[in-house]
Structure 1
Amino acid sequence: MANGAELRAAREAAGLSLSRMAQRTHFAKSYLSMVETGKRTAAQDVISAYEQVLGVRARPSRSAGGGSLAEELEARVVELRHLDDVVSSRGSPACRGEGAR
C-alpha cells in the first residue's frame, strides 16, 4: 500500500498544493497532512482519491521492485507534455485561440 511520503511526493510532482488536493478529494487538509507526514495511516479511500485526482494507480506491490508512485506520475507528466507539444505543433484553430464563436 502506498505510504504517506509516496502520496506527498506524487502530489508535489503533479504540482498540486495540499489545499488543492483537499478540495479535489473532499478530505480535510489537516487530515491529508497527517496522512502525508505519517501521523495517520493512508487508508484505501485516501489512496483511491489520490489515484483518481493524479490519474495514477498506487499498486500494493510497489515496494517489491515496482516504481514509486512519484516515478510513475513523473513518467505520466512527461507523456502528457509530449502529447501537448504534438497537439500544439499541429496549429489547430483551438490551439491558436481561434475556436468556434
Structure 2
Amino acid sequence: MAKGYWIAHGRVDDPERYDLYRAANAAPLAEYGGRFLVRGGARETVEGKAKPRTVVIEFPTYQAARDCYASAGYQAALKLRLGISESDLVIAEGWEG
C-alpha cells in the first residue's frame, strides 16, 4: 500500500499564534502516523513560485493522510491557523515503483 504525503508551501504571519496551531496539530498527526520529513529549513525555488516555507509530512498510507486532514482533531487545529498564515496544501499518494 502506498504511503501518503502532505506537501505544503506556506507563509506564517504570526509566529506566536502559529505555535498554538503546531501544538494542537501534534496529536492528530501522531494518531494517524504522520512524520515530518521537511519542516521549514533551507530550500531553493528553482521553477515557478512557492510561498517561503515548505513542509512535507509522511503518513503510512494515502488514506491515513486523507483521514488525518478530515479528522475532528486536525480540523480543530486548522481553525487556529486560519487568518495567521496562508498555505497551499496537497495530499499526494506515494509511488511504489
Q: Hey, which of these two has a bigger chunk of strand by percent?
A: 2
Q: TM-score w.r.t. structure 2 length?
A: 0.31
Q: Hey, which of these two has a bigger chunk of helix by percent?
A: 1
Please say which structure displays the higher CA radius of gyration.
1
Higher RCO, 1 vs 2 (CA within 8 Å, ≥6 residues apart): 2
